Amino acid sequence: MASLSPLPKIFSQNPHVHANLHDHLRNPNVIYRNLSFSGLGFRCSQHASIGETRIVRKSSNQTEVMIESATQVFDVPLLSCSEAIERLKTNRETQNVKQPFLAMYSSVFGGITTDPAAMVIPIDDHMVHRGHGVFDTAAIMDGFLYELDQHLDRILKSASLAKIKLPFDRESIRRILIKTVSASKCRTGSLRYWLSVGPGDFQLSSSGCHQPALYAVVIQSESPFDSKGIRVITSSVPIKPPQFATMKSVNYLPNVLSKMEAEENGAYAAIWLDSDGFIAEGPNMNVAFVTKDKELLMPKFDKILSGCTAKRVLTLAGELVRKGELRRIEMRNVTVEEGKKADEMMLIGSGVLVRPVVQWDDQIIGDGKEGPVALSLLNLIFEDMKSGPPTVRVLVPY
C-alpha cells in the first residue's frame, strides 16, 4: 500500500488530531463516529440516522454547525467521458420527472438533442457562475407557439440591457426555436430559451468568453388553465431595483425566495411593493385589480417586467369594456389600500394565465370568491391561445 503523505504542520503537531486523522486517511471510505479534532475546535459526528454527518466548531460559548449533510460520500471516482455520460443517463432515468424535457438546442454543440442526459451546459458558461444571461418562455398549445414573436422581442431587449451580444440574427433564432419544438413533437407545453455571454472562464468580466450562446428546451406539461382562487401574502424579500426588474435575467434568487416565503406561509405567491410602497408584481407574474367602479387596474411597467401575457390580457379586456362588464382599463400606480379593497384581484402570467386571488394577507378580496371579470379574462386568453390570430399563434411544422 502506498505510504501516506506527511500531515500538514497544523495537524502533525497536534496530539489530539494525529492518531484519529491517520486512521481516517488510511481508510478514506470510512468516516468514524465522533471523530474528534478537539485541539482545533472541530468535531465530526455521525448521527443515529444513517448517512448523516455533522461537522461542528466549538467555542467557549457556542457551537456552530459548519457542514451538515444528509448524504455521506465515501468514494469519489475518476470517470472517463463515456462513464460520465453513462452516469448522466442513469441519473436521468431514475429521476421522477413531472415535466419531461423533450428536446434541447445548444449553440455550443450546434444542434438539437432529444436525450435528456445530453441536455447540459458548460460549467464555465458565465450564465452559470455569474448569472450573465437572460431568458424567456413561449407556451405551446395544440401545436402552435403562443406569442413567440412578442416573447422573442422581449428577450432581445433583455439581452441588450444585459450587454449580451447575439449569436445569430433574430430570424435565425426564431427558426431555431421553431425547429426545436418541431423535433420535440410536443403539442402542449412550453418552450424556454436563454441567451448567454457564453462559456470561457471563471472571471467576473465576460471579456474572456469565446462567443455568446443560445440554449432552448421544450418542456411537456399540461395547460396552465386553473380558475381556483388562491391566497397571496405581501413579500418581505426586497424587490429588485428597476434596472434589473425590467429585464428578464436568470438572476431569480429574490423571486425564488419570495415564492418560498409564500409557500412557507400557506400561500400561492408573495406580492412585491416598489420602493415607493405601491403594488409592483408577483415573483413571476403581474397583478391586476377590478375596482368597485368596474375599472381594471394594473401597475405600470416602468419599474417591473413588461408582461407579454399581461399586455395581451389588457388588449382582450377591451371586449369586456364593449360588453359593459368593465367601465375602463387603466395602468397606473396602485396603493395597497386600493388593492385590498378591490372587488377582484388576479395574477397574470404565462405560467398561470389569469388566476383569481381571493385573499391577500388577512384581507378577503371582494366576497371571497373567484371574480367574474377574472374568470372572463381567463376564458378569453385561453380561447386566444387556441384560436387567436396569426399575430399571436405560430404553427409548428412537425
Catalytic residues: 248
All three cell numbers of 72, joined, read: 455521506
Please state the φ and ψ torsions of residue 47, each to the nearest 5 degrees: -85, 175
Please state the φ and ψ torsions of residue 248, each to the nearest 5 degrees: -95, 80
| CA atoms lying within 13 Å on the CB side of residue 212 | 20
Provide the total of helices (H) and of strands (E) in the chain, helices listed first. Answer: 12, 19
Whether 133 and 196 have beta carbons less than 8 Å apart is answered as yes
Please state the φ and ψ torsions of residue 345, each to the nearest 5 degrees: -140, 145
In which element (H, E) is residue 78 found?
none
Radius of gyration, alpha carbons of the chain: 26
d(CA 267, CA 272): 14
Please state the φ and ψ torsions of residue 269, each to the nearest 5 degrees: -155, 165
Whether 197 and 209 have beta carbons less than 8 Å apart is answered as yes
Please state the φ and ψ torsions of residue 210, each to the nearest 5 degrees: -70, -50
CA 41 and chain centroid, separation? 39
In which element (H, E) is residue 264 found?
helix 253-264
d(CA 312, CA 348): 10
Sequence-ordered strand ranges (E) for the chain? 35-37, 42-46, 53-58, 63-69, 101-106, 111-113, 133-141, 144-146, 188-196, 213-220, 230-234, 269-271, 286-290, 295-298, 328-331, 344-349, 353-360, 363-364, 393-395
User: 98 CB contacts (<8 Å, ≥6 apart)?
Assistant: none
Whether 270 and 232 have beta carbons less than 8 Å apart is answered as yes
